[in-house]
């Protein structure tokens, strides 16, 4: 599994806003959108392109377009926290399709419970971009990726705001994801499976306590 940590000053600024406990709920959602756009741009780095002629007001030159046969990734936000990343992903890839996987963590076992899955039964090798703000234990990401593998997904890219080193290694060891893009790999997981220093619960900070 390839791991890409996005190292950009504007991404770092947005991440700082997300970490700050005084950031309001609207401010948190705005910062999450800002940072998600940086992450999705990085996740799209290897999309195939063609060189094309273009005429500017000053004369001819060459430009770039996505290759005509490029298959855009299916965007799969992991509910509920991943919803906050979807608008940014659609702003970058407005023609991409979206599927939803709803998972709720059991706070005793730290394992995911599935309550929604709208991913097509057969993706026929289509690439997929999983959107999930936090890679902590990696249970949710692995469950989502396994479900996508069962649906015959192509390359699976997991895009997260924050990651714990334990989660990265668990995801890598599972063999379910091909690429992982994140803004930071933090220090560790605490005894209840939260990322430290992290930013708290991304779902609660976006939408309120469930």
Residues that are catalytic: 105, 109, 201, 204
How many C-beta neighbours within 10 Å does residue 100 have?
A: 17
Q: For 208, left (φ over 0), alpha (ψ -120 to 50), or beta?
A: left
3-state class of 149 per DSSP? helix
- Tokens at 133, concatenated: 């703000």
Q: Where are the beta strands (DSSP E) in 59-164?
A: 59-66, 74-79, 101-105, 112-117, 128-131, 134-135, 156-163
**Burial of 174 from C-beta contacts in 10 A (0-12 / 13-18 / 19+):** middle
């Amino acid at each position: 599994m390839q791991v890409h940590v996005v190292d950009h000053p504007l991404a770092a600024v947005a991440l700082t806003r997300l970490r700050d406990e005084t950031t309001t709920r609207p401010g948190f959602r705005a910062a999450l959108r800002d940072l998600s756009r940086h992450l999705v741009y990085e996740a799209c780095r290897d999309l195939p392109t063609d060189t094309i002629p273009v005429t500017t007001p000053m004369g001819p030159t060459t430009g770039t377009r996505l290759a005509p046969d490029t298959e855009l990734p299916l965007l799969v936000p992991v509910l509920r926290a991943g919803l906050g990343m979807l608008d940014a992903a659609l702003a970058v890839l407005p023609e991409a399709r979206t599927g939803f996987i709803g998972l709720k963590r059991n706070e005793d076992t730290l394992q995911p419970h599935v309550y929604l899955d709208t991913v097509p039964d057969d993706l026929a090798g289509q690439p997929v971009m999983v959107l999930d703000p936090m890679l902590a234990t990696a249970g949710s990401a692995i469950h989502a990726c396994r479900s996508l593998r069962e649906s015959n997904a192509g390359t699976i890219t997991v895009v997260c705001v924050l990651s714990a080193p334990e989660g990265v290694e668990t995801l890598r060891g599972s063999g379910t994801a091909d690429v992982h893009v994140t803004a930071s790999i933090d220090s560790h997981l605490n005894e209840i499976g939260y990322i430290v220093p992290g930013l708290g619960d991304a779902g609660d900070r976006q939408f309120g306590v469930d």
